[in-house]
Amino acid sequence: MKKALLPILSLLLFSLTASAKRTYLPVGVFYYFHTMTICSPGDTLVIKQGNYGESALMDVQGTPDKPVVITNEGIVKMGYGDGTRYGLKLEGKYFKLIGDINYGLQFTCPVPGVYSGTSIDFNNSSNYEIAYLDIGYTQLGLRSNPSRGGLMDSINIHHIRFHHTGNPGYDANRCEAIYFGNTDMAYSSESAPMRFRNLHIHHCSFDSLMGDGIQIAIAESFRLDHDTVTNSGLNNLDGQFTCFLAGGCTQGTIDSCIATNCNGPAVQVFGYGKVYVTNNRFVHCGQYKGNNQDIIYISSKCPDGEPLQTFITGNYIDGGNRFGINNETEPEKYKVGIITNNEIKNTLSDAYSPFLKETISEQHLSFYTIISTWIRGRKKKVALVLAIILVVVLLIARKCFSTNKVEKETT
């Protein structure tokens, strides 16, 4: 019986090993419009040691159980040239770009003072994982800013080192380490067909950033955790120097992150629905003197969807040129959440802005917390209803008292 099984097991082993292969990409530059002509789902594409110009892997199509894997052998430097527009265009579905654990897969520019364009552009890709890359001296590290497409789901970005972003001499030095979203008002809706879901960015480090760290928009669910930003917002450009930014029509979580020595805010929340900012540590942020900055700034920018509801708990904030936490959302767009157990010190103004103090006092009234969305803006109607209920209760009580009195007199 065992001898009979050996040929079958050998055949299965051969089929498994034969089904996945390693393909080495041309050294120096590669550009494939239809990547699946050189590989199949489950295969590995290898970038060999060397310097690479503008390269592309388009229409990468793996499967959920057999993603296409892209990796490196030796020290690889991509986007390596004076004035390169991008390092790698990588588009498709079900793929992984995984560098070695020594961060040998690098995206950088060799010319001192010159920054490459976009390191990696994913356009409207979906279902992929990116890890163990070194990205520096670039105007934009990771970019997904599609002008068309649908749902971009299950994106996992982790263990990437970002450093020295900048755009000197151009566009007022605007730059981001990560930008996933679309700021076109045509897509500013929580029901827009083109949006992100299950976007997870974690265990990444950011250092010496001229502009934003992570900026996300049109995401129905995202999670940032265990990310560290140091020395950011060095361009002092208002609106372009935030560590963690949850943009318009976005909801999700920022948890267990660290921001240190940042000229702009640590967190800006412009989304809708439920946004959680929990267990973070923000030290010496909001330091730019020319424009007073809050450490956590809240202002919903989504024209539709549920009212913004923030849950800000367990954060440590030390320093800042205005409020520790500031909410400037229009009252009708904000739903009382939970803001508690935050340690805030050494801010130029109060720990909380006036409107936020109001919402903090409201959250302790459990009845009010439950019906706060309905009550806000309807206080006169609520007072009238309560008055009518009180009158009815008093009339019923009076009638009951009168009935009891008559019964006693009768007996």
User: pLDDT 10s per residue in the chain (411 long)?
Assistant: 445 555 454 444 444 445 689 999 999 999 999 999 999 999 999 999 999 999 999 999 999 999 999 999 999 999 998 778 999 999 999 999 999 999 999 999 878 778 889 999 999 999 999 999 999 999 999 999 988 888 999 999 999 999 999 887 777 678 899 999 986 656 677 777 889 999 999 999 999 999 999 999 999 999 999 999 999 998 888 778 899 999 988 999 999 999 999 999 999 999 999 999 999 999 999 888 766 789 999 999 888 889 999 999 999 999 988 899 999 988 888 888 889 889 999 998 888 888 777 777 656 434 444 444 344 344 556 667 777 888 888 888 777 767 665 565 665
Q: What are the distances in angstroms from CA 211 to CA 43, 60, 233, 237, 262? A: 37, 31, 5, 7, 10
Residue 86: which of 108, 118, 133 has the closest Cα? 118
The DSSP element (H or E) to which 73 belongs, if any, is: strand 68-78
* Domain 20-377 CATH (choose: 3.30.1360, 2.160.20, 2.60.40, 2.40.50): 2.160.20
Q: What are the distances in angstroms from CA 252 to CA 127, 162, 225, 247, 281? A: 18, 22, 11, 11, 18
Q: Cβ–Cβ contacts within 10 Å for residue 411, how many?
A: 5
Q: Which residues contact 130 (CB under 8 A, 6 or more apart)?
A: 96, 97, 98, 120, 142, 156, 157, 158, 160
**Where along the chain do its domains lie?**
20-377
Q: Which residues contact 404 (CB under 8 A, 6 or more apart)?
A: none
d(CA 279, CA 389): 43
Q: Is the distance from CB of 322 to CB of 289 less than 8 angstroms?
A: no
The DSSP element (H or E) to which 405 belongs, if any, is: helix 379-410
How many secondary structure helices (H) and strands (E) does the chain include? Answer: 4, 30
Paired tokens of 141: 């590290």
pTM: 0.83
Q: What Rg value do the Cα atoms of the chain yield, rounded?
A: 28
Block residue for tokens 């009076």: 398
At residue 26's C-alpha, the angle toward residues 24 and 27, to 5°, is 110
- 92: region left, alpha or beta (phi > 0 left; psi from -120 to 50 alpha): left
Biggest alpha carbon–alpha carbon distance for the chain:
108
Block residue for tokens 């450009």: 237
Q: Is the distance from CB of 50 to CB of 28 less than 8 angstroms?
A: yes
Question: What is the 8-class DSSP label of residue 290?
Answer: T
| 157 beta partners | 130, 201
